[in-house]
Amino acid sequence: MLPAAFDLLLTNAHLATVSNTGERYGAIRDGALGIREGQIAWVGTAANRPRDISAREILDCHGAWVTPGLIDCHTHAVYAGSRANEFEQRLHGATYAEIAHAGGGINATV
């Protein structure tokens, strides 16, 4: 038996694509993606997938989206004030909602 061409083959997926050439954002509907040794080795539509390809594991994504490793790049504005007293309130059982209703919480220091 020949060794598997891929360690993992994702099938029945919508693939979000990002490129530094041409169209920067795109999608491959009904796509497939082959992974070998932790790296993407093949990507394309299910119709263009070589039928003789083998994989150690095949994962049916059931139409879910597969995206590149996205980074949640956000920031928190510098806040003016201390919320140390809220820590004490939390230790005594106050909920975040109760603290906010009393005028505390993130909105009190932003």
Query: Tell me: the pLDDT tens digits for 58-69?
Result: 999 999 999 987
Scan for tokens 């070998």, then name that residue. 36
> Residue 95: its pLDDT value, please?
94
> Residue 3: its pLDDT value, please?
56
Give every CB contact of residue 7 below 8 A, 6+ residues apart in sequence.
35, 36, 37, 38, 55, 56, 57
Using 50, 70 and 90 to split pLDDT, how confident is the model at 54? confident
pTM (predicted TM-score):
0.59
Residue 106, classified by CB atoms within 10 Å of its CB into exposed (0-12), middle (13-18) or buried (19+), is middle
* Residue 15 and residue 56 in one domain: yes
* Residue 14 and residue 60 in one domain: yes
* Residue 11 and residue 55 in one domain: yes
Using the predicted structure, report yes or no on whether residue 103 has a pLDDT greater than 50.
Answer: yes
Alpha-carbon distance of 55 to 37, in angstroms, equals: 12
* Residue 46 and residue 91 in one domain: no
Q: CB atoms < 10 A from the CB of 66, how many?
A: 17
Residue 33's domain comprises 6-66
Using 50, 70 and 90 to split pLDDT, how confident is the model at 102? very high
Instruction: Decide: helix, strand or coil at residue 7.
Output: strand
